Amino acid sequence: MNTQRAEETYRKLSENEEFTDNGETSLDTKDNIYMILNTGKSQHTGRAWSILRALVVVLGLLCVLLLIGIIVLSTKKTGDTTTMLPTNGGQNMQDQKFCFPKHTKTSYVKITPDYEDPLTHVTLCMRYFTKLSLKEQSLFSLSTSDYQNAVLLFIERTGKFSFSINNDITRTRHASPPNRWNSVCASWSTCGETYLWLNGEMFSIRHLASGKGIPTEPIVMLGQEQDTYGGHFDITQCFVGEISDVYLWGYGRATSLVTQFMQMQPSTNLHIIDDLINWRAFNYTLSGNVSAMSITSVCID
C-alpha cells in the first residue's frame, strides 16, 4: 500500500466509512495504515534533517576558510611596509629615483600639490646626488600666480644653498657636497622662523616672509626653476644628477619627521594628515630627458 492510497484510506476510516481488506476488520486496517503513514513521515523528516545538518557543516567550513583567508591577508599587509600607501593615491616611489642626465631646459618633474588654504607652515625634505659643484642648480621650485619663488631650494654658483619663501631669499653659508648622496630639509613658518638641515645637522637661518602665507594653486618643478608661474626655464639653472625621497609637509620645524628622514627611516609616520607631497604616494608627470628608475640603477645619458 503506497503512501497516497494509505492517506486516502485512513481518511475514510477516520470518517467512520466502512472498509474491509481480505477479511481484516477496519480497525486493524486503520492501525496498520497509521503505522505506514507515520513511518513515511519519519523517513522524510529524517532525510530533511540530514540534509540540513550537512548544509550547516558546509557553511561552517566555508566561514572558517574565509576567516583564515582574512587573517592571512591582514598579516601579509602588516608585515609588508613597502606597500603601505596613504589614501590619497599616487605611485609608491620607495627605492626609486629620478635621473636628470644632462643640461637641458626641457627636463623636469612636475607635481601639483592640492591645498585649500594658504600655507602658514612648511617642511621640505629630499635627497639628491650631483657631481657638479660650481653650478647653479634648482632642486625644488614651488610657484604660484603671486610668487614665482613661493618655495625655492636652490644651489648657488658658489655651491652654497639658498632658500626662498614668497620671493624673499636668504643665502646660506652651507655648501652642497658634490659626488655623494645628500639629505636636505628646510622648514618655515609665518613668524619667519626658518631652518635648514643638511645630512643630519640643523642650522638656523635668516627670518623669511614674516606674516605671509604661501598662496594656493601651486605648481612644483623638480630640476628646473620657474621664473614665471609654470615655466620660463633657464638652462644654466637646471639640475644635473639624481633626486629621490621628496616630501613636503604642512608643518614648520617638524623635528621628529626630519630626524626620521635624516636617519633614512621612512616609516609610515612620514605619512601624516598634512602631507602635501609624499614619496610613497607620488603624483607626477615627466617632461624631457628625465626618467624614473631603481635607486640602484646607473643614471647615464
Which is more confidently placed, 45 or 34? Answer: 45
Residue 108: predicted pLDDT: 97
Residue 8: predicted pLDDT: 64
Distance separating alpha carbons of residues 220 and 63, to the nearest angstrom: 50
Section 120-126 average pLDDT: 95
Section 213-217 average pLDDT: 95
pLDDT reading at 266 higher than 80: no
Third-level CATH fold of 90-294:
Jelly Rolls (2.60.120)
pLDDT-derived band of residue 53, with 50, 70 and 90 as boundaries?
confident
Residue 45: predicted pLDDT: 65
Q: How far is CA 101 from CA 125, 238, 299, 300, 301, in A?
A: 22, 11, 6, 6, 5
Residue 79: predicted pLDDT: 33
pLDDT-derived band of residue 124, with 50, 70 and 90 as boundaries?
very high
Q: What percent of the chain has pLDDT over 70?
A: 73
Which is more confidently placed, 246 or 7? Answer: 246
pLDDT reading at 241 higher than 70: yes
